[in-house]
């Protein structure tokens, strides 16, 4: 703790310091206004900063005595609890942002053992207070370490995903801001507009739409480079491609929806996939106002 007070910002020193603060308990109370409380805290903060800059050596006994005296004056048993005024002064929130650009992906390792594989043009944000609460923009695959006492939360658009320990993919649809969650292992909770659904392994959850069973590996194609459809109806293939590539795709004629195909493809630009499908089934595709339409090859 003395090393921490002298500038050692190692995780172990910080944890020991936090534990000491949490154990501090005042034995008297006094009423202070909010302004008086803030002034007292500011004076204490300024004195500690000044002494640190002057390289004064702190002893635990001395700091404990000063802190205890301040607590007695404040009269708040919660003065050193996490998210309290004093705790926030001594431990300011530091935000970490990890982002990728076009053609780039990154793997982020968290201190709890969880890992996040970030797709291109995506970002995650978390703080030093809680690395198990992540804000996502874009797409990422999560492998979450199990900690039953502390759920892992992903905030994506208007949706929130809550898990204890599992692996899953989350992506935000660029066309309508809907969130697509593909669960590879475990069980997760998907919350949206005060509604909650549980998604077991092998299911896809789509906000504002439905829960479907699908080949989860197809939703990880941005990582493994593979797509696989086995005797699948064209209607289902089109729906999955729309979810995976975040585009609007529809079939121009209902009579084509029940056509079936088997497709295994590596390296997965959408245009190549559409060409393979159309060549296999004697179809064509056109783009109109941002929507891809698959139709008969004889159709104008």
Boundaries of domain holding 231: 225-296
Identify the weakest region by mean pLDDT among 35-49, 107-121, 201-215, 216-230: 35-49
CA–CA gap between residue 32 and residue 24 (Å, rounded): 19
How confident is the prediction for the chain on average, in pLDDT? 79
Tell me, what CATH number does 168's domain have? 2.60.120.1440
> Is 104 found in the same domain as 174?
yes
Q: Is residue 220 in some structural domain?
A: no
Q: Which of 90, 109, 139 is the last residue of a domain?
A: 90
Residues in contact with 140: Cβ distance below 8 Å, sequence separation at least 6, in sequence order: 116, 117, 118, 119, 122, 124, 169, 170, 171
Q: Is residue 219 included in any domain, yes or no? A: no
| Total structural domains within the chain | 3
Q: What is the CATH number of the domain that holds 273?
A: 3.55.50.30
Kindly report which listed range (26-35, 123-132, 201-210, 235-244) carries the lowest average pLDDT score.
Answer: 26-35
Mean pLDDT of 154-163: 93
Asked if pLDDT for residue 289 goes beyond 80, the answer is yes
DSSP character for 128?
Answer: S
pTM over 0.75: no
Residues 126 and 229 in one domain: no
Same domain, 204 and 100: yes
Question: What SS3 state is found at 116?
Answer: strand
Q: What confidence tens digit (pLDDT) does each residue in 48-100 have?
A: 545 544 555 556 566 666 565 555 555 544 555 555 555 565 567 788 999 99
Q: How many CB atoms lie within 10 A of CB 132?
A: 18
193 and 276 co-located in one domain: no
Mean pLDDT calculated for residue range 266-283: 88
Is 55 in the same domain as 127? Answer: no
Q: Count of CB atoms within 10 A of residue 72's CB?
A: 13
Looking at residue 159, its pLDDT comes to 92
Q: Does residue 170 register a pLDDT over 50?
A: yes
> Final residue of a domain: which of 214, 247, 273?
214
Q: For residue 242, is it within any domain?
A: yes
């Amino acid at each position: 703790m003395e090393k921490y007070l002298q500038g050692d910002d190692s995780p172990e020193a910080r944890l020991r310091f936090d534990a000491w603060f949490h154990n501090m308990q005042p034995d008297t109370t006094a009423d202070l206004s909010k302004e008086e409380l803030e002034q007292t805290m500011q004076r204490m903060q300024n004195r500690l900063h000044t002494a640190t800059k002057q390289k004064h050596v702190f002893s635990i006994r001395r700091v404990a005595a000063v802190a205890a005296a301040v607590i007695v004056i404040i009269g708040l048993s919660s003065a050193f609890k996490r998210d309290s005024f004093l705790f926030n002064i001594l431990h300011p929130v530091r935000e970490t942002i990890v982002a990728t650009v076009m053609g780039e992906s990154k793997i982020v390792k968290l201190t709890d053992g969880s890992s996040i594989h970030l797709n291109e043009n995506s970002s995650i944000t978390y703080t030093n207070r809680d690395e198990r609460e992540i804000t996502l923009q874009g797409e990422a695959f999560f492998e979450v370490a199990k900690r039953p006492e502390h759920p892992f939360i992903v905030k994506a658009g208007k949706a929130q995903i809550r898990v204890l320990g599992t692996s899953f993919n989350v992506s935000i649809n660029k066309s309508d801001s809907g969130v697509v969650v593909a669960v590879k292992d475990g069980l997760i909770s998907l919350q949206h507009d005060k509604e909650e659904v549980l998604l077991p392994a092998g299911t896809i959850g789509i906000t504002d739409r439905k829960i479907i069973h699908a080949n989860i590996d197809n939703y990880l194609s941005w990582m493994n480079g593979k797509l696989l459809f086995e005797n699948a109806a064209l209607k289902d293939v089109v729906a999955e491609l729309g979810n995976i590539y975040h585009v609007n795709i529809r079939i121009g004629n209902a009579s084509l929806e029940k056509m079936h195909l088997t497709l295994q493809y590596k390296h997965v630009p959408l245009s190549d996939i559409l060409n393979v499908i159309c060549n296999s089934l004697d179809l064509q595709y056109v783009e109109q106002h941002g929507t891809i339409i698959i139709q008969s090859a004889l159709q104008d």
